Structure formats: structure tokens, C-alpha cells
Structure 1
Amino acid sequence: MYDVRPNTIIGFHGCELSIRNKLISNPNIIEISKKPYDWLGNGFYFWENNYTRAFQWANDKYDRGEITIPAVLGAVLQLGNCCDFLDSKFTGLIESYYPAMAEEYQQAGKPLPKNLEARDDGHKDKLLRLLDCATIEYMHKSITENYFSDINNKNHSQFKVFDSVRGVFSEGGPAFPGAGIKKKSHIQICIRNLNCIKGFFIPREEIDFPIPL
């Protein structure tokens, strides 16, 4: 009943300038991320209402030589049927899928993925979320399979495929000595159903207001 997130929100995506410009010019041609360590599974990623963090992300990629000109893309989003890990219902849901996934790995004789430290992360935040990504993708696969099985056999289903995934993350070390507040804490959004992206924009620069008389 309360799963749908109907409110319109702003998301920011840190990227290469040429990619931003392509999405502004051709908003229907979108490539989603399918990296095995994506924090919230496969999809198109945004920082929720966080231009600064998106720009930091783009600059970090520039420093690593992965992009040439860092930029930020803005987007207008509606999350639809959202697997929102800020809601205890959905942390309980992902927890319920883990045992079945672990059993499948065991039966196949394969080791479970693990969340790993990134080589350049001095804060030990386990930035490579292979276990999280695998579990989330397992959940999506199971829900989708059950949904289509029900539709084919009964013409209706109690299973609902997720349009998006949302999570909050604390990372980046303390904001000041002894702090529980982390420098890079943020809310991240992973869009799976691209219809949730209502449009892209180039973020404006802030101006002084009110203007002195």
C-alpha cells in the first residue's frame, strides 16, 4: 500500500562531459550500469538532491584517469514501486532472499561473493559491494520470474517488479575528530525502469539572492 514513491525528486549523476551532453541531446539513449559491485544492483545511478557529491564522484574519476572532463547531469525522477532500504519493510525483504541465494551457491559449489575494500580507500568502507549487488539482483530475478509465472498461469500476481532501489550510505571518514557524521554520506538511487526518469537537465549555477539594492 505504501510502496509507491509518487513524489518528484531531483537526482544528480556524475559523469564525463561528453556523456552528459549526449543524454541532454538524446535522452532516450541510456546505458545502465551492470557492474558486479554496484551498491544497489543494476540500473542508472543518481545521488538524491546532492549535486556536490555527484561532482566529487566525477572529479574522483578524473583523478583516476577514467574521464577527461568531469561534469554533472541533473534529472527529474519519480521512483514508482521502490525497494527503499530506508524502510524496514525492504531491509527485511532483502534479508529473506539471502538464504535461498546462499543455498544455490552452495549447491553449485561456488563461493558467495563478498564485499571488498577498494585499493585506494583509506577509510575501509568496503566500496566494492559484490555481495550486496548479487543479493539484490537475485531478489529482482526471483520476483520477476514469479511475476511472469503468475501472469501466465493466473493472469494476475501478488508480486510487484521494482522500478527503482534507494539506499542511504555512510562513508568517507568522520567529518571532524570523533564525529559519527561521515564526509561522504548520501542517499543513492538506482533506476531500473527508465520510465522513472522524466527528463534530464544541465544544472544551473547558483546566483546571489536577494540582489543588493
Structure 2
Amino acid sequence: MYQIKEHLILGFHGCDEETCQKLINSPNEFHFNKNPYDWLGHGMYFWENDLQRAYQWALEKHQQGKIKQPAVLGAFIASGHCCDFLNLKYTEKLAAYYREMKDQSVKLPCNEDVKSDSYKDKLLRNLDCSVIEYMHEQIGIIQKIEKQNFGFSLTPSFDTVRCVFPEGAPAFPGAAIKLKSHIQICVRNPKSILAFFRPRLELPLHLAA
């Protein structure tokens, strides 16, 4: 019962201006990522309570030529049944699914570095994504069996997945705190997003587009 989070989360999604406008004007749309390297599996990603980090990400993608005009989309998120990897229950559960995959002799990918990342933060999380998606698949199988046996499912799906990530350079020499550390929330259930909004950007001048 302690895993159901009742409070709302403010999430910020770095994206192209066109995507931002589309979701503001058509809030029932859902931008679902299915990249094999997504850090928390498939879904729509938000920086939790970090507008500046979301804009910084969008600006970096713009500089790489991947988006035309950097923008940030805000969202009110009801995290609901959350697979929160800041909670021991879920990190242990994920480790068990990893062992299950290994026992089945499943060929597992590896997390990989990006050449441009001098801090070697394994930005391509192929392994993590694979294990998390396996977890969701197994939950789906259990639900199907329960429905066949009982006519309904006792096992809930996860609405959201959440984790903290240390990333980037040390905040100062010798520090364990990283400049790009953040909390991400991956929304799998579109109903968890109660509303999109256009946030007010109050950024340092060096981050202005």
C-alpha cells in the first residue's frame, strides 16, 4: 500500500517546439519512447521538478541538429503505481528479473558509453532498458493468467517508473555530487498525465537559446 503515491509530480519534458505545441493543443496525445537504450524502459520521459535540466537537454539536442527549436513541456503527473528505484523493494525485484533472464540464457545487451561523453556515464542503457521491459512483459503474462483463472487480474501494471541518476562532472574537485544529477520519471500509463502546460522559463543567460 505504501507504493501508491498520492501527490502530484511536476515533470518537465525537453523537446522540439513543434512537439511542445502539438501536446499543448492536443493533450490526449502521448509521446511514447521505444528506444532500446532508454534508461527506464519505454514511455514518456520527464525530469522531475527540474525545468532547467529539461531545457539544457533540449538545447544540447538542438546543438546536435536533432531538434529544430528547443522547448520545454510541463506536465502534472499522478505517479500512481510507481516502480520507484529509490525503494529497495523495486531494486531487489529488478535484480531478480535480471537473474531470471540470465538463467534462461537470454542474450543480454550491455550499457554503453557515448564517445562524446568524457565522464563515461554509460548514456546508452541497453541492458537496463532490456531488464525493465522484461519485468513489464512478465507482469503482463501474470495478468493474463490471472484473468483466465479468475476473470480479473490481481497484479497491477506500473503506471510510472522513477529513478535518480548521478551524471556529469563533479560539482567541485573531489565531490561525489555530480552537476547533472537528476530524477527521471518515465510515464507508461497516459492517464497518469493529468495536464500539459507551458512553463515560464527563468534561465541563466548562458542557457538561453
Question: Which structure 1 residue ranges, 5 or more long, are not aligned?
Answer: 207-213
Which stretches of structure 1, 4 residues or more, deviate above 6 A after TM superposition?
Answer: none
Q: Whose radius of gyration is greater, 1 or 2?
A: 1
The sequence identity of aligned pairs, in percent, is: 51
Residue correspondences, number? 202
C-alpha RMSD of matched pairs (Å): 1.1
Deviation at 1:159, TM superposition (A): 2.1
**Among candidates 191, 194, 208, match of residue 195 of structure 1:** 191
Counterpart for residue 56 of structure 2: 56
Paired residue secondary structure (2:73): strand
SS at match of 2:95: helix
- Give 1:205 deviation, angstroms: 4.0
Which one is further off, 37-46 or 196-205? 196-205
TM-score with structure 1 setting the length: 0.92
Find the counterpart in structure 2 of residue 81 from structure 1.
Answer: 81
Q: Deviations over 1:9-54 (max 9, x none)?
A: 1000000011000100011122200000000000000000000110
- The corresponding residue for 1:122 is 118
* 2:166 matched residue in structure 1: 170
TM-score (norm. length: structure 2): 0.93
Q: What whole-Å deviation, never above 9, does each CA across 1:64-111 have from its counterpart, x for those lacking one?
A: 11011100000000001000001111001101111111233x2xxx63
- The 5 A counterparts of 1:104-119 are 104=104, 106=105, 111-119=107-115
- 1:1-213 aligned within 5 A: 1-104=1-104, 106=105, 111-206=107-202
SS at match of 1:128: coil
Q: After superposition, what is the alpha-carbon deviation per residue over 1:130-172, rounded to whole angstroms, capped at 9, x for unaligned?
A: 0000000000000111012102212344422111100000001
Structure 2 CA distance, aligned partners of 1:102 and 1:139? 13
Q: For residue 154 of structure 1, what is the amino acid of its counterpart?
A: F
Distance 1:63 1:101 in 2: 38
Aligned to 2:66, the other structure's residue is in SS state coil
Aligned partners of 2:32 and 2:129: how far apart in 1?
Answer: 14
Q: Post-superposition shift, 1:3? A: 1.2
What secondary structure sits across from 1:53 in the alignment?
helix
Match of 2:143, as an amino acid?
Y
The AA in structure 2 aligned to 1:197 is I
